Structure 1
Amino acid sequence: MYKSIVIGTGPSGLTAAIYLARANFKPLVIEGPEPGGQLTTTTEVENFPGFPDGIMGPELMDNMRKQAERFGAEFRTGWVNSVDFSKRPFKLSVEGIGELEAESVIISTGASAKLLGVLNEKENIGRGVSTCATCDGFFFRGKKIIVVGGGDSAMEEANFLTRFASEVKLVHRRNELRASKIMQDRARENGKITWALNNTPLEVVAGDKGVTGLKVRNNETGAEEVLETDGIFVAIGHTPNTGFLNGQIHTDEQGYILVEPGTTKTNVPGVFACGDVQDKKYRQAITAAGSGCAAALDCEKFLDGEIIHDWSQSLNK
């Protein structure tokens, strides 16, 4: 029996663990097959406060873990297959561990960026392939960039990247874009953005120093060519990691956990959510860490009997 279990070890989960451990709640932190979350696939992080010269993503996450362990957080590796939030203590079925019980749970399982599924894509994440323009755009100052996608997020990222890149080419497998008209208009009015519509990505081309091009097939002619580029930004959306909840926690139509505005409380008293699993707007390490702090503080108050869950009661009606 644990007072609190934290699911996930990204910036939000580790920050929550630090706060809970310092409050002497001795949390158990369950880390999945990718400890540290998306930052472990990032090379240098330059926008996390406190590191004027930047810090490598894996090193940042390792430091946060060590900080949580220093205060007494326990870490175990496993995959949460299912949960039972119908009554307390909550039950978690964890592959590799078994069944666990807890008085409270913090969900910080994040959201996984959707990838193209083409050759050499995963191998080159952090070597020219990215899923976050605000995280990595600075590294491509004065270089040529490809953005793949046809929705609002692709238009937004393409426009953002023109602040750094000499040229941004937008690749989409259809002739028509899914983005809203206003977002399309902004992109088309940007002189730095060029277009390669009706082209299906086939392969990331890379050398010893990273990405050099994107191989595509023209859907009309069938011709294949390599578009030269220094970086490829995949902007086709994210999938929140909430499948294991089996509908016990309220989510929006995309699967992101709904929380009471201004808090991290879900519709189940004693269950909290933080980080990208409930944030589809900012998706930054620092905002995730901040929400992890908030989740721990909310959780502490709950365990101390101070929280009244009016909002959760209204959600459950």
Structure 2
Amino acid sequence: MRKVMILGTGPAGLTAAIYLARANMNPLVIEGLQPGGQLTMTTEVENFPGFPEGILGQELMDNMRKQAERFGAEFKNGWVERVDLSQRPFKVTVTGMGEVETEAIIIATGASAKLLGIPGEKENMGSGVSTCATCDGFFYRGKKVIVVGGGDSAMEEANFLTKFATEVRIVHRRNELRASKIMQDRAKDNEKITWSLNKTPVEVISDGNKVTGLKVRDNETGQEEVLEADGIFVAIGHRPNTEFLNGQVETDEMGYIVVKPGTTETNIPGVFACGDVQDHKYRQAITAAGTGCMAALDCERFLEGSATHDWSKSL
């Protein structure tokens, strides 16, 4: 029997672990398929407060883990196969551990960016291929970039990147965009944005050290060409990692966990959600860490049965 389990080790899960470990809750943290979360796929992180010179994504997550371990958090390598939330204590089946019972659960399993699945994409992730313009746009100041996608997020990413890049090319496999009219108009009115519609990405081209372009196929003629670029931003959406819940926790139409406004509480008492698994708007390391703190405080309050606890004095 565990007092609390944390599922996921991104900024949200690790921040929750730090707070709960300091509160002597001895959390059990399940690392998941990608220990450290999406930040481990990036190179330098320059917008996390407290690091004026920047810090490597992997190093930042390693430091967070060490901090949680220092206060007594226990980490287990593996992933959650299934959960039973029908009654407390909850039952969580973890690869390599079997079934574990727990009084409370914090879900911090994050969201995975949808990828194109083409050669050169994963190999160059973090060194020319990105899924976050807000995170990596600064590194492409004065360069040419490509944004792949036709929805609102792609238009938003393209417009944002024009603050840094000299040219932003939008590549979409259809002639028509899925984005709302206002987002389309905003992109079309931007002089820095060029268009390559009805073209399917085929391969990310690299010289072995850095990305140099994107090979695309014209859907009408079948002809292939290489579009030169220093960076490629894949903006075809995210998928929250909630499949293992098997519909037991309320989610929205996109699969993101629904929480009570102003809290991290789900529709099931004792189950909390934080980070990108419940946030499809901001998706930043610092906002994930913030909700991780909230989840820890919400969880401790739940376990202690106190609704009027003064957190500033105890933590």
Question: Which residue of structure 2 aligns with residue 200 of structure 1?
Answer: 200
Question: Which residue of structure 2 aligns with residue 245 of structure 1?
Answer: 245
> 1:305-316, aligned counterparts within 5 Å?
305-307=305-307
- Residue type of the alignment partner of 1:255: G
Question: Which residue of structure 1 aligns with residue 312 of structure 2?
Answer: none
Q: Normalising to structure 1: TM-score of the pair?
A: 0.96
1:222 aligns with 2:204: no
Structure-1 separation of matches of 2:137 and 2:41: 15
- Residue type of the alignment partner of 2:167: E
Structure-1 separation of matches of 2:34 and 2:206: 24
Q: Displacement of 1:34 after TM fit?
A: 1.0
Question: Which residue of structure 2 aligns with residue 313 of structure 1?
Answer: none
Count matched residues: 308
Q: Displacement of 1:79 after TM fit?
A: 1.2
Question: Which residue of structure 2 aligns with residue 48 of structure 1?
Answer: 48
Give CA deviations for 1:213-255 in whole Å, capped at 9, x if unaligned.
0000001111100000000000000000000001110000110
Question: Which residue of structure 1 aligns with residue 311 of structure 2?
Answer: none
Give CA deviations for 1:242-298 in whole Å, capped at 9, x if unaligned.
000011100001100000000000000000000000000000000000000000000
Structure-1 separation of matches of 2:217 and 2:243: 34
Tell me, which stretches of 5 or more residues in structure 1 are unaligned?
A: 309-317
CA distance change for structure 1 residues 94 and 61 in 2, over 3 Å: closer, same or farther? same
Question: Which residue of structure 2 aligns with residue 268 of structure 1?
Answer: 268
Give CA deviations for 1:152-199 in whole Å, capped at 9, x if unaligned.
000000000000000000000000000000000000000000000000
Identity of matched residues, %: 77
Tell me, which stretches of 5 or more residues in structure 2 are unaligned?
A: 309-315
Q: Displacement of 1:33 after TM fit?
A: 2.2
Question: Which residue of structure 2 aligns with residue 184 of structure 1?
Answer: 184
Q: Displacement of 1:78 after TM fit?
A: 1.1
Question: Which residue of structure 2 aligns with residue 88 of structure 1?
Answer: 88
Question: Which residue of structure 2 aligns with residue 125 of structure 1?
Answer: 125
**Segments ≥4 residues shifted beyond 3 Å:** none
Question: Which residue of structure 2 aligns with residue 60 of structure 1?
Answer: 60
1:254 aligns with 2:254: yes
Give CA deviations for 1:30-61 in whole Å, capped at 9, x if unaligned.
00121000000010000000000000000000
> 1:166-185, aligned counterparts within 5 Å?
166-185=166-185
Question: Which residue of structure 2 aligns with residue 311 of structure 1?
Answer: none
Structure-2 separation of matches of 1:50 and 1:203: 38
Q: Displacement of 1:209 after TM fit?
A: 2.3
RMSD: 0.8
Structure-1 separation of matches of 2:199 and 2:149: 11
- Residue type of the alignment partner of 1:170: I
> 1:8-87, aligned counterparts within 5 Å?
8-87=8-87
Q: Displacement of 1:208 after TM fit?
A: 2.7
**What secondary structure sits across from 1:183 in the alignment?**
helix
Question: Which residue of structure 2 aligns with residue 314 of structure 1?
Answer: none
Structure-1 separation of matches of 2:74 and 2:128: 35
Question: Which residue of structure 2 aligns with residue 312 of structure 1?
Answer: none
Q: Normalising to structure 2: TM-score of the pair?
A: 0.97
Q: Displacement of 1:307 after TM fit?
A: 4.4
**What secondary structure sits across from 1:147 in the alignment?**
strand
Give CA deviations for 1:106-161 in whole Å, capped at 9, x if unaligned.
00000000000000100100010000000000000000000000000000000000
**What secondary structure sits across from 2:289 in the alignment?**
helix
